[in-house]
């Protein structure tokens, strides 16, 4: 967005972090907006309400798949800034990946692409996200 007067900026722009969770059908399940763009992703995540709910086992995440009675653990897909947890999957470090780790990281990046595609659908539906907001 266009930089408001007397505010911090990056290359003349002001930014606000939007953190979201989407399912495989590009449906947004959780959105957190409002942290200034200079904040770290890891810090933003650890201070949002979803993180607290997941850590406290109050998130209400379904653990049964449709038409099944066996519990299935849920997982979130994140990238490097996110801390590794039992419910957070992230790629291996690029430094010393063996073949199995490269395959895992590639498949995880395909899952992460769902969220990127959801933002693409949102942007093409609402063109205001494709340009600088005044």
Range of the domain at 101: 16-130
Assigned domain for 45 exists: yes
Assigned domain for 7 exists: no
Global confidence as pTM: 0.74
Q: What element of type H or E holds 21? A: strand 16-22
Q: What is the pLDDT of residues 63-111, one digit of tens each?
A: 777 788 888 878 889 888 888 888 889 888 877 789 999 999 999 999 8
Assigned domain for 2 exists: no
Assigned domain for 8 exists: no
Residues facing residue 48 across a β-bridge: none
Assigned domain for 41 exists: yes
Assigned domain for 43 exists: yes
Q: How many structural domains are present in the chain?
A: 1
pLDDT score recorded for residue 9 = 64
Assigned domain for 10 exists: no
Assigned domain for 11 exists: no
Task: Give the residue carrying structure tokens 């200079």.
Answer: 38
Q: How many CB atoms lie within 10 A of CB 121?
A: 11
């Amino acid at each position: 967005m266009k930089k408001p007067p007397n505010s911090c900026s990056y290359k003349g722009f002001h930014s606000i972090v939007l953190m979201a969770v989407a399912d495989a059908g590009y449906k947004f399940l959780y959105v957190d907006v409002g942290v200034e763009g200079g904040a770290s992703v890891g810090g933003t995540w650890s201070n949002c309400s979803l993180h607290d709910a997941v850590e406290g086992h109050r998130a209400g995440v379904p653990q049964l798949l449709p038409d099944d009675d066996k519990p299935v653990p849920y997982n979130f897909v994140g990238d490097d800034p996110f801390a590794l947890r039992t419910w957070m999957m992230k790629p291996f470090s690029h430094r010393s990946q063996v073949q199995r780790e490269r395959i895992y990281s590639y498949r995880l990046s395909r899952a992460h692409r769902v969220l990127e595609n959801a933002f693409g659908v949102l942007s093409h539906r609402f063109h205001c996200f494709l340009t600088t907001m005044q």
